[in-house]
Amino acid sequence: MVRDGLGNYVERRVHKLESLSGLTDPLGRLFQYWRNLRVSTDCTFSNIDIVQLMRAEVVGKLHVVNVGNSDPEEFRFELFGYAVPLDRCETVRALPVTIYAESTMQDYNAVRLAAAPRLDRVRSCIDGVNYHYTRLILPFVDRSHRVDRLLVGIRQEPGDGIKVQSTH
């Protein structure tokens, strides 16, 4: 957990990918689709079939992040989920509140470097708003087999996007 002096915090807990509830959960369906792609293709971003994403019921709660530049400060959103309670950003660095942007860059960079998926439960309070969600980060490679894009699926949890009540 990281905190700043302004009342903001970010808590991330890594979960086992096996904890996804399979085909009954949108993130489980997305993970299963990615695993099938990894087995049957070279797992480049161009291998994605949007119909499969629609079937997984994750459209709108997906981000596509270009991580082709090895500097996390340069990670860019190519697609920002329209159904998440956060304003659209061009870069990961531009996410609101420094500790949130930095923790997100660290997580995305870890997946880029390991070329392995990651499942996190995130609880945070950013600028007086609670964000509670489960996040699945999936790597995709370029023709040189280096991770250049991440597909980030979000499952909102109870309390996500809720403004914190002031106690004054």
| Percent of the chain clearing pLDDT 70 (strictly above) | 98
For residues 94-100, average pLDDT: 94
Distance CA 84, CA 36 (A): 27
Average pLDDT, the chain: 93
> Domains in the chain, please, with CATH?
9-17+60-160 (3.30.450.20)
Distance CA 126, CA 97 (A): 7
Q: Do 161 and 85 form a contact (C-beta atoms < 8 A)?
A: yes
Q: Is the pLDDT at 166 greater than 80, yes or no?
A: no
| Percent of the chain clearing pLDDT 90 (strictly above) | 85
Residues 6+ away with beta carbon under 8 Å from 102: 2
Distance CA 81, CA 84 (A): 6
Q: Is the pLDDT at 23 greater than 70, yes or no?
A: yes
Q: Is the pLDDT at 118 greater than 90, yes or no?
A: yes
CA 86 and chain centroid, separation:
13
For the stretch 42-87, pLDDT in tens is 999 999 999 999 999 999 999 999 999 999 999 999 999 999 888 8
Distance CA 105, CA 117 (A): 15
Distance CA 149, CA 140 (A): 5
Residues 6+ away with beta carbon under 8 Å from 110: 118
Strands (E), the chain: 2-3, 9-15, 62-66, 76-79, 118-126, 129-141, 147-156, 162-163
- The pLDDT score that the predictor gives to residue 45 is 95
- The pLDDT score that the predictor gives to residue 159 is 85
Nearest to 110 by CA among 48, 81, 67, 79: 67
- The pLDDT score that the predictor gives to residue 168 is 44
